[in-house]
Structure 1
């Protein structure tokens, strides 16, 4: 743990969407309790079944939250939390249930602000403006999670990969995660991710060099990301 830095903690809390609308006075008691923790890529923040006695707010880097499925042979990424996002906020604020999923750092370094869960709940539930902001933010997060799960169930790999590439196209060229991490994000296996990336490359949809990718044919990727059938230029193994 890094030493407490109330001023930096307050700035992070104020900029977080989940606390948007709360006044600095509402957030100062939380900021005073916060400590910063730095993680390396792959370092575990918590595991499924752990007690959720700490609320984590990402300061820099990113954290992947995932479930292990199919008897431990597959990982299903529920969401990736970046700067100013809460990790497992619903579980922490909801009570004393254990963590329903695992959380690991995706980048080196990843820094999180650590806040005692009990103190957060007391401050949130005792401050109407803060409670309203948190409830609205968590409702949005739940809706995003349901949309993601719907996409994993009903869309094909080509559609999911195209959507991922378009989502990150503003940062072109951007570094791709490893095929294993990307497969976990997309709900598939590394071999199919590698095959689909190669197919997109051969079709001229993307430029790919040393894990850095650039979108070349946005209209075709948008078509792939928005379609519901399986036909088209790029075949779609799951």
Structure 2
């Protein structure tokens, strides 16, 4: 049963998009599930990478500490079917480049032994093609995020974030400080903008859980961000 669940998750994970199910069977057989509570760490920066992790449910915050360890910088938040620190896992003798922490209880993870994943991917053309395509898309997403931090308004960035993370199901929000770090602003402005979206009926907020009510309007707000990115890319 666990193997069947693992196969279902891997076949829907973006990293293995368009890979054949038969090629995922050996990986699914090696996977095991575990649960984390809110605030519990999946791994710490500097630890050797022994497992490749895919989020089954819940969400995981990936962050780094500033010098002296007094400030945290949230790099990204990963939800269901997403890979956590996946790029580093394909480097030889790699260590985790950041910390990863569960944002809600429970957060369930699928762990795959990283050496076995590398061997299967390197020796299976369809898996290799899927992984290369995934990393190319991730690079484009990171460039798009950098572009948005420089050229877009906070409302556009927040709308895009909510559509990415809360369009299909309720999403456990990071703290306002963590969300501000993701969006390139300060916590007070994030709080005001979330309140504005709530009053306009675009979202429902229950404690730190958000659900999208008007995806079309959020898409319109985020659309100006996407259009601006497209125009700059075409120059």
- Secondary structure in 2 matching 1:32: helix
Partner of 2:86: 89
CA distance in structure 2 between the partners assigned to 1:14 and 1:221 by the alignment: 27
Map Cα deviations across residues 179-233 of structure 1 (whole Å, 9 max, x no partner).
234323323332332244445667x575766545766797598458727xxxxxx
Partner of 1:191: 188
CA distance in structure 2 between the partners assigned to 1:153 and 1:76 by the alignment: 17
Deviates more, 1:172-181 or 1:26-35: 172-181
CA distance in structure 2 between the partners assigned to 1:142 and 1:41 by the alignment: 29
- Secondary structure in 1 matching 2:119: helix
2:157 pairs with 1:157? no
1:49 to 46, 49, 55: 46
Deviates more, 1:90-99 or 1:208-217: 208-217
2:19 to 1, 16, 22: 22
Change (3 A) 1:221 1:10: closer
Change (3 A) 1:122 1:196: same
Change (3 A) 1:201 1:73: farther
CA distance in structure 1 between the partners assigned to 2:194 and 2:46 by the alignment: 35
Partner of 2:77: 80
Query: Where does the alignment leave 5 or more consecutive residues of structure 1 unmatched?
Result: 228-238
CA distance in structure 1 between the partners assigned to 2:116 and 2:37 by the alignment: 27
Superposition RMSD on alpha carbons, in Å? 3.3
Partner of 2:135: 138
Shift of 1:15: 2.0
Shift of 1:147: 1.4
CA distance in structure 1 between the partners assigned to 2:195 and 2:45 by the alignment: 34
CA distance in structure 2 between the partners assigned to 1:169 and 1:11 by the alignment: 21
Change (3 A) 1:26 1:186: same
Partner of 1:33: 30
Deviates more, 1:94-103 or 1:66-75: 66-75
Query: Where does the alignment leave 5 or more consecutive residues of structure 2 unmatched?
Result: 226-235
**Greater Rg over alpha carbons, structure:** 1
Shift of 1:126: 0.8
Q: Which has the larger helix fraction? A: 2
Map Cα deviations across residues 157-177 of structure 1 (whole Å, 9 max, x no partner).
344234334556746987654
CA contact (8 A) 2:50 2:115 kept: yes
Count residues in correspondence: 224
TM-score by length of 1: 0.76
TM-score by length of 2: 0.77
- Secondary structure in 1 matching 2:144: helix
Shift of 1:139: 1.2
